[in-house]
Amino acid sequence: MLQDLSGKTALVTGAGKRSGIGFAIAQKLASLGSQIILADLGPIQREGSQVGTGTPEEMEELALELHNRFKVQTLAVPVDVTDHHSIQAMVETIKDRMNRIDILCNSR
């Protein structure tokens, strides 16, 4: 099992709610030293969706919590993984703030 992910950057989708599996995964990766990108629908809501997603404020709060607790760099970004333009916007945001993505975890 991995013990040290220092210097690695992890993108975790579906990580915008404290109660979700995505955030639990992000928390574990941060505890191992990985920089964390939390991605969720945020302000992008699908009409009629029953899936609970984090608001932009919740996502920022979770990112700050991980940063303070584990002393890792964090970023919260909105993304709709079914929309090419949304994915492209997320990639551009990540490029501006992080050097690369080493770990990708798609959670729902």
Distance from C-alpha of 26 to C-alpha of 4, rounded to nearest angstrom: 14
Q: Domains (ranges, CATH) in the chain?
A: 9-106 (3.40.50.720)
For 59-104, the pLDDT digits (tens) are 999 999 999 999 999 999 999 888 999 999 999 999 999 989 999 9
Q: pLDDT value at position 55?
A: 84
Kindly indicate the confidence band of residue 33, based on its pLDDT and cuts at 50, 70 and 90: very high
Taking a C-beta distance cutoff of 8 angstroms, is the pair 40, 78 a contact?
A: yes
Amino acid at 55: T
Q: Is the pLDDT score of 8 beyond 60?
A: yes
Kindly indicate the confidence band of residue 28, based on its pLDDT and cuts at 50, 70 and 90: very high
